[in-house]
Amino acid sequence: MQTIDDPSAIQRRCESLRRDGKTIGLVPTMGAFHEGHVSLMRWARADNDILVVSVFVNPIQFGRGEDFDSYPRDLDGDLAQAEQAGVDLVFAPSAEAIYPKGFQTYVDVTEVTKGLCGASRPGHFRGVTTVVAKLFNLIGPHRAYFGQKDYQQSVVVRRLVADLNMALDIVLLPTVREADGLAMSSRNIRLTPPQRRAASVLYASLSRAETRIRDGERNAATIFEDVRAMIETEPLARIDYVAVCDPETLQPLDCIEGPALVALAVRFGETRLIDNFLITAS
The answer to the question of whether 33 is labelled as a binding residue is yes
Which residues are CB-neighbours of 113 under 8 A, at least 6 positions away? 125, 126, 152, 156
The answer to the question of whether 215 is labelled as a binding residue is no
The answer to the question of whether 34 is labelled as a binding residue is yes
How many alpha carbons fall within 13 Å on the CB side of residue 134?
Answer: 23
Residue among 138 and 256 whose Cβ is closer to ligand AMP: 138
Give the integer Cα–Cα distance in Å for 274 and 121: 12
Question: Which residues would be at the binding site for ligand AMP (CB under 6 A)?
Answer: 29-30, 36-37, 39-40, 146-147, 149-150, 175-176, 183-186
The answer to the question of whether 32 is labelled as a binding residue is yes
Shortest CB 33 distance to ligand AMP, Å = 8
Give the integer Cα–Cα distance in Å for 256 and 29: 33
Active site residue 124: no
Shortest CB 121 distance to ligand AMP, Å = 13
> 13, 37, 126, 272: which is the annotated catalytic residue?
37
Give the integer Cα–Cα distance in Å for 70 and 247: 32
143-147 sheet: strands from edge to edge? 2-4, 89-91, 50-55, 24-29, 143-147, 169-173
Give the integer Cα–Cα distance in Å for 48 and 68: 32
> Vertex 28, ends 74 and 56: CA angle to 5°?
45
Shortest CB 203 distance to ligand AMP, Å = 11
Shortest CB 174 distance to ligand AMP, Å = 7
3-state helix, strand, coil in the chain (%, to 5): 40, 20, 35
DSSP 93: -
Residue among 76 and 215 whose Cβ is closer to ligand AMP: 76
Residue among 186 and 195 whose Cβ is closer to ligand AMP: 186
Rg (CA), the chain: 19
DSSP 224: H
Residue among 56 and 224 whose Cβ is closer to ligand AMP: 56
The answer to the question of whether 30 is labelled as a binding residue is yes
> Vertex 12, ends 11 and 14: CA angle to 5°?
65
Indicate the pairing of strand 2-4 with strand 89-91.
parallel
Residue among 4 and 40 whose Cβ is closer to ligand AMP: 40
Shortest CB 62 distance to ligand AMP, Å = 12
Closest residue to ligand AMP, judged by C-beta, is 147
The answer to the question of whether 187 is labelled as a binding residue is yes
- Residues annotated catalytic, as ranges: 37
Residue list, annotated binding site for ATP? 30-37, 147-150, 176, 184-187
Annotated binding site for (R)-pantoate: 61, 153
Annotated binding site, which residues? Answer: 30-37, 61, 147-150, 153, 176, 184-187
